[in-house]
Homo-oligomer: A and B are copies of this chain.
């Protein structure tokens, strides 16, 4: 389908959209939330933008005054670009203020691709090798000839054959006239030669980056020759049937007969389902998937590999292994090429896993001069503090609320999820934006941060997160489980039911944000540091496509430091898995980082529980910690 490029100013964000799509749709794709109360009907006039360059095949101006439309002002929801355009978006048209939108697409972190690793190579690759044909004067064995050439002509050392490849090597070499593609898998310091093939014909080579979260799992299908992400899929982890958090799953694995095997099967089937979706949609042969890199917390990695997680939850909290060895896909039952190696990013401790090592690497925190904080907010919240000199980490149990689980109207950040919300007019009106502008079916993490902040600001809830009594709005009503707030009425939603948030949901969200903040405070305090010492804050997690840092500070989840210190990095574990797949060097660096991080047990000799209880208010019992809110 022909594409059109749209550049949004002043952000200078570029997107390509299909011809015929509106500027509103292009902005949504770029992660820029425009106001649009009338639902794209052109009647509310809130989505006005200014065309600065290029032309429009259709220009909607609605009720805009002529002096504005003459200067290029149009309604984004009714205007369709013709060719490349540049469009300016004023603050007044944005659903959320420009400065606090921490879009991962603007953090520059996504720019890291295979091209950044031109000096290295993926964990699986093909090397074309030209050999001299044997003669009576040089009748070395075929295997020896190939290894010699790899070492002396291509600089590839420490190579090993498998028997299967050797079995038919002589015929392949002769039929290919001594020029072949050698398939190399990097495994723990050596290269396994997995195949030797004719160079005629083009076999695609794919890898998988897998993020195994406690609540959700995501898979990226990556072209290992170009580094491109060919497709992405995500879903809930089927292990949820056996418990919401890692502790209940460890107990299930340890105490139920066959429990460990059931949990292993559940995550295997979760991933296999995503693989099948990805390959079916693209008619890809699953045997062309030749390497898999997984990122997950320590418990998830244990359960994925079938290791005993029992002692992760018992003092002194010891995992079976932090850096599990590569395992064949066939051994784990992953439905890709059975000879593919499955690598798990190396972890640090029972509650600081390989996903965190990956996050630290992706953010380059471990290479920075400034004191930096990394927060990965999933079902567990992990926190890393440090710089290029030292790295400390700890974990706190945040619960899955921000991943859209454990909250009645929660959902993953997929089309139809409400990802940005403003409650205005004292709770009478709710403005929201959904992913891909689909009719809403639930709320994802970034939406919940907005919601909590907005409800508090609008006076719908009090500092303890409880509904204020006697409000004159139909949106607050008695529900089956106490009071609830209607975010979207059945008439607007994609499933014909009201989207509501209950008192119990609010308490879950409050506990989640309190755990994160308490963890940050405790880790800093253990080093005698104040919140203000932090120069950079990297936020990772499955909130959605961005988070509003200002709102996250307002609810007391994130420390009250200047907004420009924040960067949202999205699913850094998945990114790390992808880059590890594409770069042996990245992989080696992550191993080094895992060895550098010192783990701090929050349960041991510190004040985490005390901090947690203090943080169960909006924004906090100690409001002096959030002094910028007083001014604003």
- A interface vs B, CB < 8 Å? 134-136, 139-144, 160-163, 166-171, 174, 188, 305-308, 310-311, 315-325, 327, 331-332, 349-350, 599, 601, 604
Contact = CB atoms under 8 A, between A and B. Distances in A.
A420 B275 CA distance: 71
B141 A321 contact: yes
Contacts of A315: 136
- Closest 9 pairs between A and B when the two form their complex, measured CB to CB: A143-B321, A139-B316, A141-B322, A136-B316, A141-B319, A163-B327, A170-B308, A170-B311, A134-B318
Contacts of A169: 307-308, 320-321
Q: Name the prevailing secondary structure of the A interface residues.
A: loop
A353 to B, nearest CB: 11
A557 B183 CA distance: 50
Contact of A166 (B317, B320, B349): B320
Contacts of A144: 321-323
Given A144-B321, A163-B305, A318-B141, A170 B136 contact: no
A316 B138 CA distance: 8
Contacts of A308: 167-171
Nearest to A348: B141
Contacts of A188: 160
Given A163-B307, A166-B325, A167-B308, 11 more contacts: A136-B316, A136-B601, A139-B317, A139-B350, A141-B318, A143-B323, A143-B324, A163-B332, A166-B320, A167-B320, A170-B310
A323 B322 CA distance: 35
Contacts of A325: 160-163, 166
A71 to B, nearest CB: 64
A599 B134 CA distance: 15
Contact of A161 (B310, B317, B321, B349): B321
The winner among A139, A160, A161, A332 for most chain B CB atoms within 10 A is A139
Given A160-B325, A327-B163, A171 B316 contact: no
A318 B142 contact: yes
B604 A136 contact: yes
A314 to B, nearest CB: 10
A146 B25 CA distance: 56
A305 B166 contact: yes
A166 to B, nearest CB: 5
A324 B135 contact: no
Contacts of A306: 163, 167
Contacts of A311: 142, 170, 174
Given A169-B320, A320-B143, A321-B141, A331 B163 contact: yes
A419 to B, nearest CB: 38
Nearest to A310: B170
Nearest to A349: B139
B320 A139 contact: no
B604 A166 contact: no
